[in-house]
Amino acid sequence: MIQFFNVTKIYKGDIYALKDITVKIDKGEFVFLVGPSGAGKTTFIRLLFREELPTKGQILIAGRSITRLRSKEIPFLRRNIGVVFQDFRLLPDRTVYENVAFALQVLEVPPKEIKARVEEVLAQVGLSGRAHLFPHQLSGGEQQRTAIARAIVNRPRILVADEPTGNLDPATSREIISLLLDINRLGTTVIMATHAWDIVNSLKKRVIALDKGRLVRDDKEGVYGYEA
Amino acid sequence: MRLRTWGYFFRQAFLSLWRNAWMSVAASTSVAVTLFILGAFILLVLNINFIALALQSNLEIAVFLRVDTPRSQALALKQQMESLPGVKEVELVPKEQGLKILAQQLGEEELLEATGGVNPLPDYLRVRVEDPARIGEVAAILQNLPAVEKVNYGQAVVERLLAVLRWVRYLGVGIIGMLAVASLMLLMITIRLAVYARRREINIMKYVGATDWFIRWPFLLEGLFIGLIGGGIAAGVLLWGYTSLTYKIKLSLFFLPLLEDNTVLHYTALGLVGGGACVGAVGSLLAIHRFLKV
């Protein structure tokens, strides 16, 4: 599903964010991306949904090179990849329902279908009763659920989460992780960058560890391996 | 794009105009002022052209004969000139009439006495040509006829007029260019503010896979609308101003030929509205360009 071939990313001023990364992630996998701050986790994610281009190397998604995409094709790549961030990135002047529906509106989905799909996905993340509240009326966990609902409402095949539990307390973090696991069980490939070593250790999922831009470890049923 | 999507675009555009109401008003006004000056300049240049053309068609060649030319030869010359190609009509002004005209112009009734009873003026012929542009060629032929002392067709005036006209045009293009850039900048600042206010939204749209044009259209419409309003105000004020100004000028400076062709006036006004729309659209596209690079 996702293949990195010798991917190197150098930012301005000779800063190596990623060095010679080669990795393969299969369809339906759940992968933790771990490592200390500045290890290159966020760059890895940005490369995935083509916010950045690699300096060297090749990235394939579903067999297609995404480095050779024309800028007109980028939106269509992104429709297959949902993204969730640490800071939620919800629109503060819109309700939960509107925030999720927005993702379908901009794709010109018919209103009837929008309504059905938003209601379905809100039920899936457990926010059916909170649809008409604004983000500031929600807890952190609920805000992140809204963001996840927005990311998956278009039924993408890949869900990418950049430290989705970074702003949440441990109990809420576990809820969010179990939601991501549920989504994964329904067939979506999930890639999650995280600092939450306890969660990583307890789940025994695949762990890709980065340090100073290098791939230092890739375990099938891994542990965090660092004291966070 | 579906019809429903266009509805969304227009709603977003007007919402943004309303949210930044003061900025929208400021931008429209600025566009209106610049376009008005632009339009005024265009009309000025058109009028100078028109006046120049009118003057040219009134041009005539004054052919002065030698003082001692007998009247019979003068009449023969008149006939000869009338048969020349390019000559429209020839009028003989005998020296007696010439003296009368001069006396009238000077306000001196007894001019003849002042010159000691001798008329010092020669007979002269007023020659009108068919094509004002070829007046120089005809004048050269006339110069070579026998008994012709001097030929005068106001060459210096015509050339000076054309030079002035040329400079007015250069100046016009320069001013038009500067004004266009100024109004473009103003629009860019306005739209950039609107874009900046909605940068989170744009960011999310990009992440969920909205196309760039889907994101652009509302801002493009907003800019277009500001430009159209500005152009409309400019065109309206210009039409009204020009009509009342030409009316007043006609009352006091009735000899001045002015352009009163409504077609030209309406095209100028239409041009201003179109120009406003273009400035609005281009300004928006430039303003949003940076924000789409995500």
Cβ of A76 within 8 Å of Cβ of B209? The answer is yes
| pLDDT score at A228 | 43
Q: What is the 8-class DSSP label of residue B11?
A: H
Q: Which of B204, B208, B217 to mutate to test the interface with A (most CBs of A within 10 A)?
A: B208
Residues 6+ apart with CB under 8 A from B292: B202, B206, B212, B215, B216
**Residue A144 to residues A176, A179, B32, Cα–Cα distance (Å):** 8, 11, 47
Q: Does B289 touch chain A (CB under 8 A)?
A: no
What is chain B's alpha carbon radius of gyration, rounded to the nearest angstrom? 31
| pLDDT score at B109 | 66
pLDDT in tens, A15-32: 899 999 999 999 999 999
Q: Are B270 and B235 in contact (CB under 8 A)?
A: yes
Show the low-confidence residues of chain B (pLDDT under 70).
56, 108-112, 155, 158, 162, 254-255, 294
Cβ of B209 within 8 Å of Cβ of A51? The answer is no
The helix or strand, by DSSP H or E, that contains position B139, with its residue range, turns out to be helix B135-143
pTM of the model: 0.72
Q: Which domains does chain B have, with CATH numbers?
A: 3-55+161-292 (no CATH), 60-152 (3.30.70.3040)
Amino acid at the residue B269: A
Amino acid at the residue B249: I
What is chain A's alpha carbon radius of gyration, rounded to the nearest angstrom? 17
Contacts of A107 in chain B (CB under 8 A): 208-210
Of B200, B209, B294, the CB nearest to A89: B200
Q: What is the 3-state secondary structure (H, E, C) of chain A?
A: CEEEEEEEEEECCCEEEEEEEEEEECCCCEEEEECCCCCCHHHHHHHHCCCCCCCEEEEEECCEECCCCCCCCHHHHHCCEEEEECCCCCCCCCCHHHHHHHHHHCCCCCHHHHHHHHHHHHHHHCCHHHCCCCHHHCCHHHHHHHHHHHHHCCCCCEEEEECCCCCCCHHHHHHHHHHHHHHHHCCCEEEEECCCHHHHHHHCCEEEEEECCEEEEEECCCCCCCCC
Cβ of A106 within 8 Å of Cβ of B212? The answer is no
Cβ of A106 within 8 Å of Cβ of B214? The answer is yes
Residue that is written with structure tokens 């278009």 in the block: A154
Q: Does B293 touch chain A (CB under 8 A)?
A: no
Closest-CA residue of B relative to A100 is B208
| pLDDT score at A76 | 92
CA distance A15 to chain B (A): 20
Range A67-84 burial, b when 16+ CB lie within 10 A, else e: eebeeeebbebbbebbbb
Show the low-confidence residues of chain A (pLDDT under 50).
227-228
Cβ of B209 within 8 Å of Cβ of A102? The answer is no
Of B1, B210, B212, the CB nearest to A107: B210
> Which residues of A lie closer than 8 Å to B, measured between beta carbons?
49, 51, 71-72, 75-79, 83, 89, 91, 102-103, 105-108, 110-111, 150-151, 154
CA distance B278 to chain A (A): 24
Q: Give the separation between CA A82 and CA A97, rounded to whole angstroms.
A: 17
Helix (H, G, I), strand (E, B) or coil at B87: strand
pLDDT in tens, A162-184: 999 999 999 999 999 999 999 99
- Which residues of chain B from 187 to 216 reach within 8 Å of chain A, CB to CB? 200-201, 203-212, 214-215
CB pairs < 8 Å spanning A and B: 52
Which tokens sit at A24? 């393969």
Amino acid at the residue B65: L
Q: Bridge-partner residues for B92, per DSSP?
A: B125
Of B2, B208, B294, the CB nearest to A106: B208
Closest-CA residue of A relative to B215 is A106
